[in-house]
Amino acid sequence: MNSKSGSFSMHEQQRTLKLWKKGLVEIDPYLRGKQDNRTGLTLRIRPPKDVCDQLHDDLSKAELPHAVYFYPPGDMHITLLTLVSCRAEYLPDSRDMTVYIDKLGPFFSASPSIRFEMQQMVAVPSGFILAGTSRSNALKRLRSDLNKKLQQLEDRLHPVSRYELKQAHITLARFRAIPDRWQTLLDLMSNPSLMQSFTGKEIELVHNDWYH
């Protein structure tokens, strides 16, 4: 990702695709039967149901039944902020949840809807994502305001993200094996019907698994 613009560079994409074709991808062992008890706490924005359903329908048409795991519609999301990174057997404290709800509820009620333009399919080592921007940098401003609000809470309630979030993205697929039909996968990623524009209206506080 380009650190200045928050976009994914062509150079990065070319490098990732070369690694893909050599079979150098990140395989997710939890998608191959390994028991998964990782959970965390996340603030997320859910795309409209019809958008998620359309994305899943288009993805499901690809003949990649085993090697690639496609996210079901109910798991598709845009991460607003990671409050607690996923870890084994994490259970949120009910008192902490009450603080988050009491302090952040009015903040979110006053936050305007965000218009997203998701127009870039991006290859990453573990799969691929649908990336884009929010109109007038609304998502960036909301994340900044939210971080300031959270800094007013006790230290243990401050967000700890796995990485710095610069751009809106929806994870669509992860590898559970090395694909042997790369052209089919690339053709799928170039499908223009996967590009979406929508308005995110609701922010959810969720005790999530790794995939949501």
pLDDT tens digits, residue range 44-96?
999 999 999 999 999 988 877 689 999 999 999 999 988 888 888 888 889 88
Say how many residues make up the chain: 212
> Contacts by 121-125 with C-beta closer than 8 Å and gap 24+?
121/189, 121/190, 121/194, 121/195, 122/8, 122/13, 122/169, 123/13, 123/16, 123/17, 123/20, 123/189, 124/16, 125/16, 125/19, 125/24, 125/25, 125/26
**DSSP assigned state of 31:** G
pLDDT at 1: 45
CA 53 to chain centre: 16
CA–CA gap between residue 175 and residue 127 (Å, rounded): 6
Task: Residue 121: count other Cβ atoms within 10 Å of its Cβ.
Answer: 20
Residue 21: per-residue pLDDT: 86
* pLDDT at position 114: 94
Phi, psi of 181 (to 5 degrees): -130, 70
What pLDDT does 160 receive? Answer: 64
* Per-residue confidence (pLDDT) for residue 164, from 0 to 100: 60
pLDDT at 7: 57
pLDDT tens, N- to C-terminus, the chain (212 residues)? 443 334 577 788 889 999 998 989 999 988 877 788 889 999 999 999 999 999 999 998 887 768 999 999 999 999 998 888 888 888 888 988 998 898 888 888 888 899 999 999 999 999 999 999 998 889 999 998 888 888 888 777 777 655 566 789 999 999 999 988 888 999 999 999 999 999 998 889 999 998 87
pLDDT score at 9: 75
What is the reported pLDDT for 173?
A: 95
